[in-house]
Structure 1
């Protein structure tokens, strides 16, 4: 009788493994660990059994991978895969997969909602209305507030989430442009948006910049001081992708100078943010210069009850396809950026 393959869920994200078992079939044995912060917390004897590893929050560095002598497949239960040591996986012949269609609607909804919320001045008025008496009743003259259809919504990275954000922004009346050097010709025409040929052109065109590129060695620090300086005066910056893509100090300088009107961030360069960067300190202290101009979320743009169910099902299906059936579903090429 053929020995069963073993899949390890190191975080015990769900109360049971019934769905995973149903999807993967009876040739797979599913184990759960109880790691809280790192794979290194798992006992060696548990890791030694795993042919497949499915992880959501935990990083997968080389030193952790060395605990898994039989490992064949790593599933990063999400879109980003920057916390997996793919170079070492390639050395070992370990296949790395992500779940590229997970949270597409939720992240796009969050990005465009952040932009719309800021551009309508809702945080500005919200903070003013709950300020000291007497109530600040009336119009606040502020460059944050703009009509949508006089603005250009710039999308950096027109993948699945970027495309969904572009369509939502277009529906709200924004003119939508994008920059994505990896996208084939015609993608712009398919959804009726405008392709720009360089990052500099995107910045110079954008009243709202929404970041939707993955974090790679080429995109780390991609949006820095020089790029932000090219944005239109009074621009809004949205980042629901990965924190290290955007230079947080440069963003703070732009906000302080007034050149950037506002920002909405679901991600930060270090999460949780310890120690807190200066921008977050000013935000949490409610400093006057920043009031109504910044929204920070704790990396939850992906979440909804429906998305939480999606990630479980899609991860199990991907593991089944790759580990059991030998398919190439959602495989990340070892040499991808």
Structure 2
């Protein structure tokens, strides 16, 4: 009999998992512990398949699973799994690329719209004992959508869905993604550019949708941010380490950027030393009011998305572990 471990105890029971995996698979669960390191060796000794959402799976923890064959990362990103350590053991790593697409795409566009139409600005400045005057405020944030270019970095499922939504709001949409085949832009009715610099130079809104890999870590630094048009807005719903948060602060402080929306930050949850941009945001410093939105990596969150995570994750585990298929397998060499 095969054994599948879901260490975080995300759902109230295992009825759906058992139905999909079948009677030849035993399911064991943890109790929402903070890390795999806290799980006992005797539990891990029997595990053939591991399903994890928030927990990291570093090399030293991979070594504690003597029978492990498949790791399913219950989400789109797979940077939490040490794929090199898994590959060295012949362990297959999978993700769930097609859940939460609508939610994250909508959230990215909503972040841009809420900044660009002043919703955040007026919300922030009308609060407190000394609110701003009951009147129009002049701000470089305010722009009509139809005169702006919405730039998308990474045109996968979520980036494509964001492109269609931004286009529906009137933005001119351009994208850069060297991994997408020619013709994808024509299918979506948007424009492809040949380099990231070309994308940045014309993006009044930059929306980040690429995965976190060795090649994309720190991809958007100060040089890249200063290639954006003055008073641009940056939105990140992908992974925090793709964007240099300290460079973002400098570009916001000196006025090169009008605003930013972050659903992800480099370290989650934030720990000391907390980046100075987040300290300023939490303190409600005047220079930042209305210009920054921070949410705790919840762009995906709807009840429907959580159900998709559950079902699609266990279906992927069944396909790969039980039936020997290659569903959602991440090649070891992809980065």
TM-score bracket, shorter-length normalisation? over 0.9
Counterparts in 2 of 1:134 and 1:28: CA distance versus 1, 3 Å: closer
- 1:181 to partner: Cα distance: 0.5
Correspondence for 2:275: 277
Correspondence for 2:291: 293
Aligned equivalents of 1:231 and 1:320: distance in 2? 45
**In the alignment, which of 49, 53, 57 is matched to residue 50 of structure 2?**
53
Question: What whole-Å deviation, never above 9, does each CA across 1:251-292 have from its counterpart, x for those lacking one?
Answer: 000000111000000000001110111000000000000000
Q: For 1:62-211, list aligned pairs within 5 A.
A: 62-133=59-130, 136-211=133-208
Contact residue 34 and residue 42 of structure 1 kept, 8 A: no
Contact residue 35 and residue 42 of structure 1 kept, 8 A: no
Correspondence for 1:212: 209
- Identify unmatched segments of 5+ residues in structure 1: none
Aligned equivalents of 1:79 and 1:287: distance in 2? 34
- 1:132 to partner: Cα distance: 3.4
- 1:212 to partner: Cα distance: 0.1
Contact residue 125 and residue 131 of structure 2 kept, 8 A: no
Question: What whole-Å deviation, never above 9, does each CA across 1:15-34 have from its counterpart, x for those lacking one?
Answer: 11000000111111111112
Residue correspondences, number: 334
- 1:133 to partner: Cα distance: 4.2
- 1:127 to partner: Cα distance: 1.7
**Poorly superposed stretches of 4+, deviation over 4 Å:** none
Correspondence for 2:315: 317
Report SS of the residue matched to 2:264.
coil
Correspondence for 1:231: 228
Aligned equivalents of 2:178 and 2:75: distance in 1? 23
Correspondence for 2:249: 252
Instruction: State yes or no: 1:328 paired with 2:326.
Output: yes
Counterparts in 2 of 1:176 and 1:134: CA distance versus 1, 3 Å: closer
What is the Cα-based RMSD across aligned positions, in Å? 0.8
Correspondence for 2:38: 41
Report SS of the residue matched to 1:210.
strand
- 1:35 to partner: Cα distance: 4.7
Q: Give TM-score, length-normalised by structure 2.
A: 0.98
Aligned equivalents of 1:316 and 1:155: distance in 2? 31
Report SS of the residue matched to 2:87.
helix
**In the alignment, which of 255, 258, 266 is matched to residue 263 of structure 2?**
266
- 1:134 to partner: Cα distance: 6.4
- 1:139 to partner: Cα distance: 0.6
- 1:136 to partner: Cα distance: 1.4
